[in-house]
Amino acid sequence: MNSELEELYQEVILDHSRRPRNFGELADAAVRVHGDNPACGDEIHLGVKFGSDGSLQEIKFTGHGCAISQASASLMTMKLKGRSRDETESMLHAFHDLVTTNTNDAPKALGDLQVMKGVRKFPQRVKCAMLAWRALEQALQQTVGEATVSTEIDSAD
């Protein structure tokens, strides 16, 4: 990756961490998931409201932590709002691959989320980038109620 591109990526991440999109409480959320990354001190509170067809009608978050964790959450909500459940799940897998594997051909569908691929060189940062997505994964499984996920506890499956 050339340095010009890296600078651009930095800018997108800083912009989203300073001015997160879809930031706030979702008053009528069907499911709320609290995500915790104690290794870095990041927290994400994700609220999702599903449409009658299971799509992500509304998705909002609050939280605090490092720029990577907050920017990843902001970019994620922008990308997934209004998406079907299938699209959301394939995006989740694509993003996980993006930040954990060494492939150079990131799926174009990820759009701005591709800025996160730099974290794959830093295992601790992968947790930051994945935090909002882990919360989302739990929200999709659960669909109603409240839950907590942590990057330090492996899921039961």
Which residues here bind Zn ion, judged by CB under 5 A?
A: 40, 42, 66, 69, 128
Closest separation in Å from C-beta 129 to Zn ion: 8
**C-beta of 29 vs 113, nearer to Zn ion:** 113
Closest separation in Å from C-beta 26 to Zn ion: 23
**C-beta of 58 vs 137, nearer to Zn ion:** 137
Closest separation in Å from C-beta 65 to Zn ion: 5
**C-beta of 92 vs 126, nearer to Zn ion:** 126
Question: Which three-class secondary structure string do you get for the chain?
Answer: CCHHHHHHHHHHHHHHHHCCCCECCCCCCCEEEEEEECCCCEEEEEEEEECCCCCEEEEEEEEECCHHHHHHHHHHHHHHCCCCHHHHHHHHHHHHHHHHCCCCCCCHHHHHHHHHHHHHHCHHHHHHHHHHHHHHHHHHHHCCEEEEEECCCCCCC
**C-beta of 119 vs 140, nearer to Zn ion:** 119
Closest separation in Å from C-beta 52 to Zn ion: 36
